[in-house]
Structure 1
Amino acid sequence: MMRRLMAAILMLLAMASPAVAQKRIALTFDDAPRARGPFLTPDERTARIIAGLRKAGVRQAAFFVVPGNLAAPDGAGGEQRVAAYVAAVHVIANHSFSHPGLKAMTADAYLADIDRAGAWLQGRKGLRPWYRYPFLDEGGTDKAKRDAVRAGLAARGLSNGYVTVDGSDWNIENLAGAARKAGKAGKPIDMDALRDLYVETHVEAAEFADRLGRQALGRQPVQVMLLHETDLAAYWIADLVAGLRKKGWTIVKTDVAYRDPIAKLRPDTPSAQGNLLEAIAWEKGVPAPRWYERNTLSIADPLFRARVLHERP
């Protein structure tokens, strides 16, 4: 009798206890195969990203492919680099053929560009039926165009390869590249400070998204981090994963992330550009800020100059 009573008490306590927080996130990389960056050749970058993900114990990341990049002057070997990611147990998906912005073209032309990329991707190992909008641009304020492309994706069996966490890593890399090109010798770059800024920015972006998800959904969705196939990722993806884990994050497969219920949501907001969680928060009336502050370049750029280049305002 006493055992049954104790078991009942323990069950009631468990039911009354708050649910354990689950901070889960998947890693995704845009624009593969990219051109040469400020520090590494494309081959060096791919090898380092694969090694960094393996070192960090990331079981699966996703690489969103732009086949048109193969025509770039340093695009040779790009097909092999994409295959190398798949051989390392990661997955690939469609990111358009030429990386166009939807606002700048018709829905029909845009879908044709997606089809061209799809033809290149068809039959390749590791392919997933996801499409990520270049620039996260779903058509701006043109809802008719937005809906036409959404319908076109559905007809092709493609779902939105959305993101919920963004730290504008492309901008950090661009600033580092510009610094290296400045003058004959370039500006001196504090590489330790650059690493710290890169890691800190993306960990903060994840923490921001976790808070926004709780506000907008009343729960913690599986987050999807937007990265790009950059030299900075090649150097410090393992450091970034370590930083996330230090804050309690679990790195999950992209396959897991895109099974979260928010994958089925199609928010209707005044401007269809940005990450999915921001749009959900906007639709539900969550007050600003709904956008991680370092995605605003007027904030991010001076921070880079002060911390990485040690320039005074």
Structure 2
Amino acid sequence: MIRRLMVAMLTLLVASAPAAAQKRIALTFDDAPRARGPFLTPDERTERIIAGLRKAKVRQAAFFVVPGNLSAPDGAGGGRRIAAYVKAGHVIANHSFSHPALKSMTAEAYLADIDRASAWLMGRKGLRPWFRFPFLDEGGTDKAKRDAVRAGLAARKLSNGYVTVDGSDWSIENLTAEARKTGEPIDMDALRDLYVETHVESAEFSDRLAKQALGRQPVQVMLLHETDLAAYWIADLVAALRSRGWEIVTADAAYRDPIAQAQPDTASAQGNRLEAIAWEKGVPAPRWYERNTLSIAIPLYRQRVLHKTP
């Protein structure tokens, strides 16, 4: 009798305990297949990214493909590299054919560019029905264009491959390429630390913002690019995320989160999904991770990686 009572009390305590916090995040890579970077050939980059994800035991990442990149001088093997990601267990999705900004063209022309990418992607293994807006530009202040493209995507049975975590890794890569070109000495340890730290801090920022805007922790989606920096340090980034309590989940799991169905109505449709939701709900600024502001990020890079004084 006493034993049954003790078991019942323990069960009640467990049931009434608050649920453990859930910090879950999926990794996604834009602009595949990219041209040669500051350090690696495209083939070397793909091999290293696959190896890094395998080492980090990331079961599935998503690669958003720009088929127009195949026309670059070193893009001939791009199809083979995309297939290699899929063979390794990852998935692919549409990132447009030519990576245009929606603000620079009509909705009709923009949708035609998406269709051209879809034609290249059709029938390929690992394909998911997601479209990611280049530059995260969903129409800016032009709501009519925004709504026309939203309707066009729905008609094509494509859902928005949104992001919620962004560290502007493209800028870190570009600054590194410029330094290599001009022969400036690069502190590679400092570059690794900056790359990893920036993305972990961005994830932590988004976790706090989600609690303010939603009162819960959605599955986050990290925006990365298929860069040499990712090839070198994706395993270090995953290890750092896990050390802060993050669980790496699949992109499939991320895009099943309820915020995938959100259609935020804000004054400008550009940026990440969580930022837009926070804006729509009246969450006060900052709604944007500070290192996405280049006037902050560039001096930080120059100071820490190139050891330049401000």
2: distance between equivalents of 1:168 and 1:84?
A: 25
1: distance between equivalents of 2:11 and 2:65?
A: 49
TM-score by length of 1: 0.97
- 5 Å-filtered alignment, 1:18-167, equals 18-167=18-167
2: distance between equivalents of 1:280 and 1:30?
A: 22
SS in structure 2 at match of 1:250: strand
Q: CA deviation at 1:11?
A: 3.3
Q: CA deviation at 1:19?
A: 1.2
SS in structure 2 at match of 1:130: strand
Please point out which of 205, 229, 232 is paired with 1:232: 229
SS in structure 1 at match of 2:31: strand
Q: CA deviation at 1:74?
A: 1.3
Q: Look up the match of 1:252.
A: 249
Q: CA deviation at 1:8?
A: 3.5
1: distance between equivalents of 2:50 and 2:81?
A: 10
Q: CA deviation at 1:23?
A: 0.6
Please point out which of 283, 290, 294 is paired with 1:293: 290
Residue 242 of structure 1 pairs with residue 239 of structure 2: yes
SS in structure 1 at match of 2:284: coil
Q: CA deviation at 1:125?
A: 0.3
AA in 1 matched with 2:220: Q
1: distance between equivalents of 2:305 and 2:12?
A: 53
1: distance between equivalents of 2:196 and 2:3?
A: 50
TM-score by length of 2: 0.98
Q: CA deviation at 1:4?
A: 4.0
SS in structure 2 at match of 1:291: coil
Superposed CA deviations along residues 118-166 of structure 1, whole A, max 9, x for unmatched, are 0000000000000000000000011111011011001101000000000
SS in structure 2 at match of 1:289: coil
Q: Look up the match of 1:196.
A: 193
SS in structure 2 at match of 1:227: strand
AA in 1 matched with 2:254: A
2: distance between equivalents of 1:271 and 1:205?
A: 22
1: distance between equivalents of 2:147 and 2:167?
A: 27
Residue 276 of structure 1 pairs with residue 288 of structure 2: no
Residue 306 of structure 1 pairs with residue 309 of structure 2: no
AA in 1 matched with 2:13: L
SS in structure 2 at match of 1:26: strand
AA in 2 matched with 1:309: L
2: distance between equivalents of 1:9 and 1:235?
A: 51
SS in structure 2 at match of 1:20: coil
SS in structure 1 at match of 2:260: helix
2: distance between equivalents of 1:19 and 1:310?
A: 45
2: distance between equivalents of 1:233 and 1:252?
A: 18
Kindly tell me the number of residue pairs found equivalent between the two proteins: 310
SS in structure 2 at match of 1:30: strand
Q: CA deviation at 1:225?
A: 0.3
Superposed CA deviations along residues 267-288 of structure 1, whole A, max 9, x for unmatched, are 1011100000000111111111
Residue 217 of structure 1 pairs with residue 214 of structure 2: yes
AA in 2 matched with 1:236: W
Runs (5+) with no aligned partner, structure 2? none
Q: CA deviation at 1:9?
A: 2.4
1: distance between equivalents of 2:54 and 2:122?
A: 27
Q: CA deviation at 1:290?
A: 0.5
SS in structure 2 at match of 1:39: coil
Q: CA deviation at 1:76?
A: 1.3
Runs (5+) with no aligned partner, structure 1? none
Q: CA deviation at 1:12?
A: 3.1
What RMSD over aligned residues (CA atoms) do the two structures have, in Å? 0.9
Residue 10 of structure 1 pairs with residue 10 of structure 2: yes
